Structure 1
Amino acid sequence: MKYFIFIFLIMASCKQSSEKNSETYKTIHNRAIVIDTHNDILMKVLEDGVKFDDDLTGITHSDLDRWKRGGLDVQVFSVYCDGTAKNAYDYANRQIDWLDAVVNRNPSKIMKVFNASELLSAVKTGKIAAIIGVEGGHMIENDLDKLDSLYQRGARYLTLTHNTSADWVSSCVDQTERPEIPKGLTDFGKAVIKRMNNLGMLVDVSHAGEQSFWDAINTSTKPVFASHSSVYSLCPHPRNLKDDQIKAIAKKGGVIQINFNPGFVDASFEKKEQDFLEKHKTEHDSLMASLQDEWLVKFQLYKTYADEAEPIRPPLFKVIDHIDYIVNLVGADYVGIGSDFDGITLTPKELDDVTAYPNITRALVERGYSEADIDKILGENFIRVLKANENN
């Protein structure tokens, strides 16, 4: 009898501890300023005709009401088009037009902000603070006046390059696959960074080739950041940052925002994905013939064969491992969240959509992070870097 009483007391204690932990992470999450520095919903808006002030559950990772349910306070909207697209600047402005339209239709829910002070004001009133990040230097079309114009419309970071190199900066993809192209920043590229510093626009090194990265670090007089990248030492993907790059960003006073892309957080994912695609090769090839877009084909196949896709999704702890790694390497002041929701074909487990942000906080609590450090990771680090780039 004593044995059973002992077991009962242990179980009761564990349940109470679990309930207390649940309340703790929810309290921390609801109190913190939660910021995601990279979401591609505007691409879905323009290409698929969706409206993110509608309920898009089951269609996209994001919409206005689900952001609130996930406790998100600040969303940086990626303005993106493929690096080979014509009229990229016009495309960027059309996406910003769509964002402005949603803000204008929903003044009680979302507010477009231009600096850290406005961001904090929006959060204080319970509105989602909307910021713009332009993903790819090709969208300024080699024209500093167009960079100025995008800044005036609210762009507060420029990702120097996407997968396809711009004329003035080389990408990590081209650095890996096209060794014949020039590497790094041209003189015009360095002029772009100097103009960004003068404007108060953050230099984003996600997607940049290694030489471009170091040129940016050495050219910028302000803290730089990576809007949606992860750790190369844990997952050796060319899009991820090596230890010396992480240390350089930290030394510069910047921040690395962890990407949720399974291929960037789990070193075993690439092989699993290859096996999945090989199994459905006939359908894959047929879809490629009609859609001619690898991203869309993968997205469709994962949706069609959801039961098969589920086992290859990385567990949540893989994402947290990347946060841990950066904290252990350089400290809790230099890491945050840049999910890439609506820009990735598959998400990690427990991160199905934007309602899942609290699971990040829960996992950080379970790993013993202090409330102060959790606040930094969820949003304060990005606010610090935003302020440091502003010209007062």
Structure 2
Amino acid sequence: MKVIDMHCDTMKAILDERDKNKNVNLKNNNFTVDIEKMKQGDYMLQVFAAYTNIKEGDTLVNCLRTIDLFHNEIKANKEDIGIVLSYDDILKNIKQNKMSALLSIEEGACCKGDLGILRNFYRLGVRMMTLTWNYENELGFPNEIIGNKLVCDRGLKNKGFEFIEEMEKLGIIIDVSHLSDAGFYDILNNTKKPFVASHSNSRSICGHRRNMTDDMIKKLADRGGVMGLNFYSNFLNDNTTFNNMSKIDDMINHVKHIKKIGGIEVIGLGSDFDGIECKVEIEDASKMQILAEKMKKEGFTENEVEHIFYKNVLNLFREIL
């Protein structure tokens, strides 16, 4: 069963270790994603996020450093994996028996509110971007806990509206993971193309503010978008504590509910590997087929599992890239 995963933070994890003068690479490492593990897991494509944190220095500089690492690591492993700039690149890599790597940005603040910087990121290979991470920025707001109250009603700022228009023109996939509920609807009402929630689950099953409401799932499905199943325990089960094990049974519960609300074609994978701080029953990228087998045992057909594991995201890439 081929795998397309819409989100991992492996590049940032490697960069952090390099900054400590440790010799870490993408070929073979102690993280959850590397070339060898992806090959064992039968990966078709991994989306690698250039993640930055507003509170950890200059977001533009940190994002550019992560993107530089991405290009260097993919080049160093060019026999096994190739960069995706268009849908045809995916097909070319398949023909050459290679996996594919798509570059995303997690935290739109790295653009400094400047459309020219956004366009330069496109030129550097970025093909997906979240508008926010966990903090307010020039583009908009995430869902936030202020006092004891969940604040969901602050959406995109004026710059945010300018950015989503330009992203649609360029062919950068809009990613609503980490964005506020109001921001989701701002994007829904001011765009025409499908968009994604690259690593978000169902809020009905687990009430975390990072998850999607049933209405959002339905609207995303109606638009032809895809949401990626996140493996983080705190987004899977309300009863987990910070370091609880992420369970496959909880993942299945989310997939069953999302299928009921939005249909099978809205579901993809967005593991959040190397960006989550809990133990995962699916230990790393090499173990992804365990999830496929479990889905089949739980009543999903081979065709349904194929759609979840790669076909839905591949169809979206065909349309936008």
Identify whether the pair has TM-score above 0.5, normalized to the shorter chain: yes
1:42 aligns with 2:5: no
Report the structure, 1 or 2, having the larger helix content.
1
Cα distance change of structure 1 residues 42 and 314 upon mapping to structure 2, 3 Å threshold: closer
1:288-343 Cα deviation digits (max 9, x unpaired): xxxxxxxxxxxxxxxxxxxxx6xx41421111211111111121111010000000
1:137-170 Cα deviation digits (max 9, x unpaired): 1011111011111111111111010001112200
Query: Shift of residue 367 of structure 1?
Result: 1.8
2:312 is matched with which residue: 381, 386, 390?
381
Which has the higher mean CA deviation after the structures are superposed, 65-74 or 362-371? 362-371
Q: What one-letter code is carried by the residue in structure 2 that aligns with 1:215?
A: D
Partner of 2:268: 336
1:115 is matched with which residue: 59, 77, 86?
86
Separation of aligned partners in 1, 2:114 and 2:132: 15
Report the structure, 1 or 2, having the larger strand content.
2
Contact map agreement 1:260 1:347 (CA 8 A) in 2: no
Cα distance change of structure 1 residues 34 and 92 upon mapping to structure 2, 3 Å threshold: same
Unaligned runs of 5+ in 2: none
1:210-239 Cα deviation digits (max 9, x unpaired): 111111111111111100000100000000
Cα distance change of structure 1 residues 361 and 179 upon mapping to structure 2, 3 Å threshold: closer
Pairing of 1:251-266 with structure 2 (within 5 A): 251-266=222-237
Contact map agreement 2:233 2:247 (CA 8 A) in 1: no
Pairing of 1:22-61 with structure 2 (within 5 A): 29=1, 33-49=2-18, 50-56=23-29, 59-61=30-32
CA RMSD, 1 decimal = 1.9
Partner of 1:357: 288
Partner of 1:154: 125
Q: Structure 2 length as normaliser, TM-score?
A: 0.93
Q: What one-letter code is carried by the residue in structure 2 that aligns with 1:79?
A: A
Query: Shift of residue 177 of structure 1?
Result: 6.8
Unaligned runs of 5+ in 1: 1-28, 274-308
Q: What one-letter code is carried by the residue in structure 2 that aligns with 1:55?
A: N
Contact map agreement 2:144 2:151 (CA 8 A) in 1: no
Separation of aligned partners in 2, 1:153 and 1:187: 25
1:269-302 Cα deviation digits (max 9, x unpaired): 03xx3xxxxxxxxxxxxxxxxxxxxxxxxxxxxx
1:324 is matched with which residue: 218, 231, 256?
256
Aligned residue for 1:73, secondary structure, equals strand
Separation of aligned partners in 1, 2:85 and 2:57: 28
Query: Shift of residue 51 of structure 1?
Result: 3.0
Separation of aligned partners in 2, 1:248 and 1:47: 37
Partner of 1:306: none
2:34 is matched with which residue: 50, 53, 63?
63
Query: Shift of residue 195 of structure 1?
Result: 0.2
Contact map agreement 2:195 2:220 (CA 8 A) in 1: yes
Query: Shift of residue 128 of structure 1?
Result: 1.5
Query: Shift of residue 112 of structure 1?
Result: 0.7
Q: What one-letter code is carried by the residue in structure 1 that aligns with 2:37?
A: R
Aligned residue for 1:74, secondary structure, equals strand
Query: Shift of residue 252 of structure 1?
Result: 1.0
User: What is the aligned length?
Assistant: 317
1:313 aligns with 2:245: yes
Query: Shift of residue 182 of structure 1?
Result: 8.2
- Higher radius of gyration, 1 or 2: 1
Pairing of 1:235-250 with structure 2 (within 5 A): 235-250=206-221
